[in-house]
Structure 1
Amino acid sequence: MTTTPTAFDPTRVAHLTGRFAPVTDEVDEAELSVVGELPADLDGVYLRNGPNPRFTPIGSYLFPIDGDGMLHGVWISGGRARYRNRFVRTPQVVAEERAGRALWGGLESMILPDADEVGPDLARTFKNLPDINVVRHAGRLLALAESDCPFLMGPELETLGKETFGGALPAGITAHPKVDPRTGEMAVFCYALEPPYLTWSLIGPDGVVRRGPTPVPALADPVMIHDMALTDRFLVLVLAPAVFDIDAAMKGGSFLSWRPENGTRIALIPRDGGTVRWAADDAFWVWHTVNAYDTTPDGNVVLDYVQWPSLNLGGAPATLSSGAHRGLTRAVVDPEAGTVHRTQLDDSRVEFPRIDDRLIGQQHHRTAVAADSGRVPDLLPGEYDALRWYDARNPTAAPQVWYAGDLSVGEPAYAASPGTTDAGRGYWMTFATDRTDETSWLLVVPAGDPGGGPVARVRIPVRVPLGLHGTWLPTEE
């Protein structure tokens, strides 16, 4: 049987405490209290997924990758709201619930239970971690993992099972697929520790895989890629030099090695299956893209994203090195010349960028982010106390800012007003937690005047741990 190393002390892991600490209660609340007034035209559910260990972790814990998934849902209709949260019950979570304790260690610990603990089917397997994101596509609600199979969820957040798309994508997909709003096609990728290190696929609007796993050539090492972007012509992947090093992990070292001498490459993968175009640049890291689009007549690709000087997992924010920068960034990629021209749009510490998803792959109008205002000295990595909105068509214009006071805010997701394509007629939504009493709220901010702050604050009956990704799903007709 496996044993737990005594060196690991979960009480000393910042992202297992305070506003990041997991919650274990699954709660249903039929009527939520609202400060302000919920817009009458909102009819749907705001869902957010995030790392939430079911039991106290053993061996290691690496935020934001480790942790069981938990979905938090706020259903809004007719100016009223209800709430429900549920764990994503993978086979490993079910086995741990049966044992009453954690059986799998964090990714860095390599603790894998034996058959006498979990049975032959789960013995020595890695834990499924669908704890990053949640999307709806082709009528399926998917809790998404980091390059692994998502889990299919029911309308009341019940876990229905692992989703392999009819067996066509057995290795899984990314935690950040992109759905083309004009065609309904969903583009995905999946990285792996063994060749081929990177594949991409396309899923039709009917949920059927149109293009199965297609290898991306010219990769010498397995690298971590968290997000992607999509244009009319290309899947856009940023390959930073975050290299998986299994040998080092087996000897007690880090399983991810930052190798800046390798530089960062951007892959433009034609959606029609043509030759992959590559562009090379100095090393930088990307957690999240904003959006990408093709430009005419030059044929370039514009990619907006949040840049970091290096990979940072679990610890302090990455420090700036000579010539490096962080913050909201625009890259113009020339597919023919293989060049990248980067422009820093804002040097503030920001993350979780979102747009109106109806504009994915097209020139977007507004970018929303969670931001560090600089007013709170003890925010943890992944914690933010303000929201910012940028005019993507006028990047030199000052952003609109809402300072959240005692609230720590998360990723802002856009909810369009039904029956209109006007981006100013919708709302931005995010969970927020009060640092003074750890109460959590759903904030609803009008897109027409976001700097004025929320028009409604919905009281959540349990604390919602900070991080990660959410989405607004309007009621389907």
Structure 2
Amino acid sequence: MSNPFTQGNYAPVRQEHTCTDLAVVGEIPDHLDGRYLRNGPNPISEIDPDTYNWFMGDGMVHGIRLRDGKAEWYRNRWVRSPAAAKALGEPPRPQNPRAGLGAVGANTNVIGHAGRTLALVEGGATNYELTDELDTIGPCDFNGTLPGGYTAHPKRDPETGELHAVSYFFGRGNTVQYSVIGADGRARRTVDVTVTGSPMMHDFSLTENHVVFYDLPVTFDARQAVQGTVAAWLRRPAQLVMSALIGRIRVPDPITARMGSRIPANRRFPYRWNPGYPARIGVMPRNGGSRDVRWFEVGACYVFHPLNAYETEDGIVLEVVRHSKVFDAELHGPTEGSPTLDRWTVDLKRGRVREERLDDRTQEFPRVDERLVGKRHRYGYSVGDDTLFKHDMTTGKAETRSFGEGNQVGEFVFEPRTPDAGEDDGILMGLRFTAAEQRSDLLLLDAETLETVAEVQLPDRVPNGFHGNWVHAEN
């Protein structure tokens, strides 16, 4: 069977570019002063289509610098993990074993925080600090305050500027870690939270007073993990040892670090659908601990990305993109079933969750105005192949902008016109790939009308990837 994640615009690009004075169609708003950044998998070495999973490719960060109505530059750079540096014939960057496993490049998200540009990944792997021009500086462990990897999906508190996160890693046993990174870039709080086993907890939700955990049935699979990582005659013993440890006790960091250094970059994806694992969500006060978490059952499913969450008089509303199943029969990527936009209303008084469908059209990568993270909002944005969705949570309606056959769009992010502008008063930014030209553009859309304000023409295509953000020049 062919692997769709090695073909078309999933295929890697082979060149790093530094291009200046980019061509622009339309006019870039003067208030945009910063960088649009996007991260995603881009394998350097040859990959085996039979075993390659989209989540496992070397990280490549793409960036476009906008200032004074101009597109000053485009750069794309591989994140120099040890494997990436070796494949590129470069000396390795200084490493820090306390920063996490180095086998997988930081390929999932890229943010600005405390004056740093950070390429992020999950699962206990190493995150990397980059220069403003996207060259790799080295591993990031937040000044030694948060060892052992981080997450791809921190949430920034719009009031304090702190980063809240939930991190998972198979070596943690049956715990995940909630952390708070201050505006100064240092961890000020960590809490280990007990879960059912060893889940892949890709994202979480944050409200003004609570943290929400998604403990869902995609879990670490020891059999998958040892395939291709040890000699054939050792696989069964290794699988038995890992099965005995993972999800039960915490594996010491020095052991997991050595394990990670021996795992090839093109290893099999070590997480899989687990029908015997209970599906539930946990609600914890921000200042609480593991014993304060209240757990609520939900229907079996998987959530990569929530849109937003907010509190009501009786509980919490969660708006999520729900997958009925992932990584069961198809291990190359999340292609089983059509992800939909759903709402889960957690009734804290009655101890139950009401699940409802908001939009049954296939969509992913939901985003909200970042000023309203954890608060009641009106608008949300998501994408489905060639279509951008703008959801109005007040009316229940959704506007769409189709970009036509032969085009694909990625995640769009919202940037307000001014810091105190209305929720719908600003620019949506995202990448469009045009198959006919084998090239990508950065689209700037009016958030109210979804009409194009400007197109920044890039010199090459940006492969289908994951997440990005607008990073202000003052960050």
Shorter-chain TM-score category? 0.7 to 0.9
* Residue number among 104, 109, 113 corresponding to 1:128 in the alignment: 104
Q: Deviations over 1:321-369 (max 9, x none)?
A: xxxxx41011111235432111100000000000111110101121111
Residue 76 of structure 2 corresponds to which residue in structure 1?
85
**Corresponding position of 2:335:** 317
Instruction: State how 1:200-349 maps to structure 2 within 5 Å.
Output: 200-212=178-190, 214-217=191-194, 219-247=195-223, 249-250=225-226, 255-274=270-289, 275-296=292-313, 298=314, 300-312=315-327, 313-315=331-333, 317-319=335-337, 326-349=339-362
The verdict on how the C-alpha distance between 1:251 and 1:186 changes in structure 2, with shifts beyond 3 A counting, is closer
**Structure-2 change in CA distance of 1:446 and 1:185 (3 Å):** same
* Shift, 1:465, TM fit: 0.4
Structure 1 position 388, deviation (Å):
0.8
CA change 1:360–1:69 in 2 (3 A) is: same
User: Could you tell me which residue of structure 2 aligns to residue 385 of structure 1?
Assistant: 386
Q: Aligned partners of 1:454, 1:403: CA distance in 2, in Å?
A: 12
The count of aligned residue pairs is 420
CA-based RMSD of the aligned residues comes to 2.3
Q: Distance in 1 between matches of 2:361 and 2:199?
A: 27
CA shift for structure 1 position 155 = 0.9
Shift of 1:304: 0.6
SS in structure 2 at match of 1:286:
strand
Further displaced range: 12-21 or 55-64 = 55-64
- State whether residues 174 and 190 of structure 1, in contact with CA within 8 Å, keep that contact through their aligned partners in structure 2: yes
Identity of aligned residues (%): 36
CA contact (8 A) 1:196 1:215 kept: no
The structure with higher relative contact order (CA 8 Å, sep 6+) is 2
Q: Distance in 2 between matches of 1:206 and 1:327?
A: 37
Matched AA of 2:10: F
- The answer (yes or no) to whether the contact 2:416–2:423 under 8 Å persists in 1 is yes
Partner of 2:456: 458
TM-score of the aligned structures, taking structure 2 as reference length? 0.83
Q: For structure 1, list consecutive stretches of 5 or more residues without a partner in the other structure.
A: 1-8, 101-118, 321-325, 372-383
State how far apart, in whole Å, the 2-side matches of 1:290 and 1:46 are. 20
Contact 2:80 2:105 in 1 (8 A): no
Query: CA offset at residue 60 of structure 1?
Result: 5.8
For the Cα contact (< 8 Å) 1:65–1:146, is it kept in 2?
A: no
Cα distance in 1 between the residues matched to 2:444 and 2:148: 37
SS in 2 for 1:260: coil
Amino acid in structure 2 at the alignment position of 1:352:
F
Aligned counterparts of 1:316 and 1:248: Cα–Cα separation in 2:
16
1:113 is aligned to none
Report the Cα offset of residue 247 of structure 1. 3.6
Contact 2:177 2:192 in 1 (8 A): yes
Structure 1, residues 56-89: CA drift from partner, whole Å, max 9, x if none? 2258654431111111111111221021111111
Instruction: Tell me whether 1:26 sits opposite 2:25 in the alignment.
Output: no
CA-CA distance at 1:245 after TM superposition: 1.7
- Describe the superposition over 1:207-243 as per-residue Cα deviations: whole angstroms up to 9, x where unpaired: 121113x2112x2320111111111111212111112
CA distance in 2, matches of 1:255, 1:29: 38
The superposition leaves residues 135-188 of structure 1 with CA deviations (integer Å, 9 ceiling, x where unpaired) of 112222110012333111111111111011122221111100111011111111
Distance 1:314 1:254 in 2: 8
- Cα gap change, 1:88/1:251 in structure 2, threshold over 3 Å: closer, same or farther? closer
- Would you say 1:365 and 2:378 are equivalent positions? yes
Aligned equivalents of 2:322, 2:139: Cα separation in 1 = 33
Q: Is the 8 A contact 1:49 1:131 kept in 2?
A: yes
Residue deviations 1:362-411 (CA, integer Å, cap 9, x gap): 0112111112xxxxxxxxxxxx111010012222x2x1111101321000
Letter of the structure 1 residue corresponding to residue 176 of structure 2: L
Match of 1:470 in 2: 468
**Shift in Å at residue 257 of structure 1?**
3.4
CA offsets, 1:110-140, max 9 Å, x none?
xxxxxxxxx9x9xxx7613200001112222
Query: Residues 266 and 20 (structure 1 numbering): CA distance in 2 closer, same or farther, change over 3 Å?
Result: same
Shift of 1:13: 2.9
CA contact (8 A) 2:413 2:428 kept: yes
8 A Cα contact 2:3 2:50, kept in partner: no
Contact 1:354 1:368 in 2 (8 A): yes
Residues 65-214 of structure 1: matches in 2 within 5 Å? 65-81=55-71, 82-98=73-89, 127-147=103-123, 148-194=125-171, 195-212=173-190, 214=191
Give the 3 Å change call, closer, same or farther, for CA 316–468 of structure 1 in structure 2.
Answer: closer
Q: Tell me the residue number matched to 1:380.
A: none
Q: What displacement does 1:15 show? A: 1.5
Give the Cα separation in 1 of the matches to 2:17 and 2:226.
40
Cα drift, residue 17 of structure 1: 2.1
Task: Give the distance between the partners of 1:338 and 1:174, measured in 2 at CA.
Answer: 29
Change in Cα spacing, 1:61 to 1:234, as seen in structure 2 (3 Å) is: farther
Secondary structure of 2:272's partner?
strand
DSSP-derived class of the 2:421 partner = coil
**What is the alpha-carbon distance in structure 2 between the residues aligned to residue 92 and residue 158 of structure 1?**
16
Alpha-carbon separation, structure 2, partners of 1:472 and 1:185: 17
Offset of residue 420 of structure 1: 3.1
* Alpha-carbon shift at residue 423 of structure 1 (Å): 2.1
The alpha-carbon deviation at position 249 of structure 1 amounts to 4.0
For 1:430 and 1:248, how far apart are their aligned partners in 2? 34
Q: What are the Cα deviations for residues 426-464 of structure 1, in whole angstroms up to 9, with x where unaligned? A: 1101111112221111111101211xx312111101111
Contact 1:423/1:447 (<8 A) preserved: no
Structure 2: gaps of 5 or more residues: 229-267
CA deviation vs aligned residue, 1:293-345 (integer Å, no higher than 9, x gap): 1112x2x011111001012452573237xxxxx41011111235432111100
**3-state SS of 2:394 partner:** coil
**Structure 1 residue identity aligned to 2:86:** A
Distance 2:274 2:11 in 1: 32
TM-score of the pair, normalised by structure 1: 0.83
Instruction: Look up the SS of the partner of 1:216 in the other structure.
Output: strand
In structure 1, C-alpha distance between the alignment counterparts of 2:308 and 2:21, rounded to whole Å: 36
